[in-house]
Amino acid sequence: MRHGAWQAFAWLVVACSCLGTGQARADVIEVGTNGTATVYAGPTLFLGDTTRPVLKPEAKASPPGPGTYTPAKLVEPAYPLRLHPTLDAYVTEAATKYGVDPILVRAVAWQESRFRDSAVSPKGAIGVMQLMPATASWLGVNPYDPRENIFGGVAYLSTLLERFGGDVRLALAAYNAGPEAVARHRGIPPYRETQNYVKAISERLSIR
């Protein structure tokens, strides 16, 4: 189609789309000399070699990428004991680095060890975040070093949140019972300890 005839056709489309009281819409297809086609959605104004849409196109929201989620709104509870200022600074630093809510980290630390860096469970879990030796080794941290213990625990919690799509309750269950148990049972495992663990932290943080 010659340029002059094409311009006349384009103007006709613009005119037709503006007629009537309804919100008419037309798509204009321009075929270049090399055979390529360009689609102009809606009324388009042609000025020489340039084009400009008559209507501003609506912005389209980008779909969320993989691994994105809406974090649960957590309530900071009051604890009978306070986390030591130095340990709390480690929590804030680690939470910022790994993108985990520090409120959640403190709740896990309280449930695990009552904020005691010297705590060792009968099963051998160590420190504030109660890291098992094998888990600490996998994370590459020294569980007896308070800072490394907290950083390791927060890093592990971050991986669990990502694995379970940001579901805090499933991440908590995985922190207690292991991620494979949660995957195998397709939810919180039917272990009394794990269910009580998730229930206690969820109620403390007002997670519904």
In SS3 terms, 135-176 reads as HHHHHCCCCCCHHHHHHHHHHHHHHHHHHCCCCHHHHHHHHH
Is-catalytic flag, 180? no
Residue that is written with structure tokens 């932290």 in the block: 201
* Of 30, 58, 76, 112, catalytic: 112
- Please identify every residue annotated as catalytic: 112
